[in-house]
Amino acid sequence: MDAKDLQILRELQNDGRLSNAELAERVALSPSPCLRRVRLLEERGVIEGYTAIVNQKAYGLPVTVFIQIRLDHHSTEAAQIFEHAIQTIDEIMDCHLMTGETDYMLRVVVSSLEEYEQFVRNRLHPIPNVASINTSFAYGVVKKNRALPR
């Protein structure tokens, strides 16, 4: 990955639908080597895919919740059960395995506080081995960055 690849990644993170012609111009290459670099980045898994960024409020899901979860014991089995359970729950946008006091950090998206209550009751509580659930509501987004630094 040289400087040109980094430039390509920066441009595609800021506009994932850039045409190859436009992208090539911005990174000072002709279209064909530019396209070949993009395909290589895709094949190597550096580019995992492309996505449309949807406005949560306009979509009807204005509420973002961060949830810190601890398991009651830390066997491989308990972790596997938990991690498997969350995969099928659509409201969970992402889940990180954490160091320190909490085991998992979830970002969950819902339409309202009422729906969040339902979510906790119907989706979270049925999962076994969960010792504690710590909920933090987000009022709004102050910053949102598309491109990784550097």
Partner DNA sequence: GATATATTTGGCATAATATGCCATAACGAG
Partner DNA sequence: CTCGTTATGGCATATTATGCCAAATATATC
Burial degree of 56 (CB within 10 A; 0-12, 13-18, 19+):
middle
How many Å apart are CA 96 and CA 148, to the nearest integer?
Answer: 18
How many Å apart are CA 16 and CA 53, to the nearest integer?
Answer: 10
- By C-beta, is 29 or 92 nearer to DNA? 29
Least distance in angstroms from the C-beta of 55 to DNA: 19
How many Å apart are CA 87 and CA 37, to the nearest integer?
Answer: 33
Of these partners, a copy of itself, DNA, none, which one is at the site of residue 7 (CB under 5 to 8 Å by kind)?
A: none
What is the footprint of DNA within residues 35-74 (CB under 7 A)?
35-37
- Does 121 engage in binding with DNA (CB under 7 A)? no
Least distance in angstroms from the C-beta of 144 to DNA: 25
Of these partners, DNA, a copy of itself, none, which one is at the site of residue 126 (CB under 5 to 8 Å by kind)?
A: none
- Does 19 engage in binding with DNA (CB under 7 A)? yes
CB half-sphere exposure, 140, CA atoms < 13 A: 2
Residue 14: which residues within 8 A CB-CB, separation 6 or more? 146, 147
**Residue range at the interface with DNA (CB under 7 A); choices 6-14, 33-41, 89-97, 99-107:** 33-41
Least distance in angstroms from the C-beta of 30 to a copy of itself: 21
Displacement of CA 73 from its chain's centroid (Å): 27
- By C-beta, is 6 or 113 nearer to DNA? 6
Interacting residues with DNA (CB under 7 A): 4, 19-22, 29-37
